[in-house]
């Protein structure tokens, strides 16, 4: 385990992250007193996404790609929002 002061950690942050990626733990100290630890984390394994995984979990309205005058007013700010009281 390596110990470095904050000044050195700021100057060589990329090298310290590379050391953590390689499995090393680095202790960061302020005035010689350990205050933080930088180290490797366990990789998170996500299952691969497959086509159809979300089938049936949401629906797309038939008019999702239609643009109305109200949308124009809301988007360009040329009028009050008719959805608000």
Instruction: List pLDDT tens digits, range 31-84.
Output: 999 999 999 998 888 888 888 888 888 888 898 899 988 888 888 886 555 555
Tokens 């124009």 belong to residue? 72
Break the chain into its structural domains and give their ranges: 2-38
- pTM as predicted: 0.51
Q: Please write the tens of the pLDDT for every residue from 67-81.
A: 988 888 888 886 555
- Which residues, 6+ apart, have CB-to-CB distance to 19 below 8 Å? 2, 26
CB 37 within 8 A of CB 25: yes
Tell me the three state secondary structure of residue 55: coil
φ/ψ region of 31 (left if φ > 0, alpha if ψ in -120 to 50, else beta) reads left
CATH architecture of residue range(s) 2-38: 3-Layer(aba) Sandwich (3.40)
Of 5, 9, 14, 1, which Cα lies nearest the Cα of 34?
5
């Amino acid at each position: 385990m390596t110990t470095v002061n904050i000044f050195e950690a700021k100057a060589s942050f990329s090298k310290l992250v590379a050391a953590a990626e390689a499995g090393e733990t680095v202790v960061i100290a302020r005035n010689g007193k350990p205050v933080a630890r930088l180290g490797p984390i366990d990789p998170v394994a996500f299952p691969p996404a497959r086509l159809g995984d979300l089938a049936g979990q949401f629906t797309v309205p038939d008019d999702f790609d239609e643009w109305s005058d109200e949308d124009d007013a809301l988007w360009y700010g040329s009028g009050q929002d008719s959805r608000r009281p």
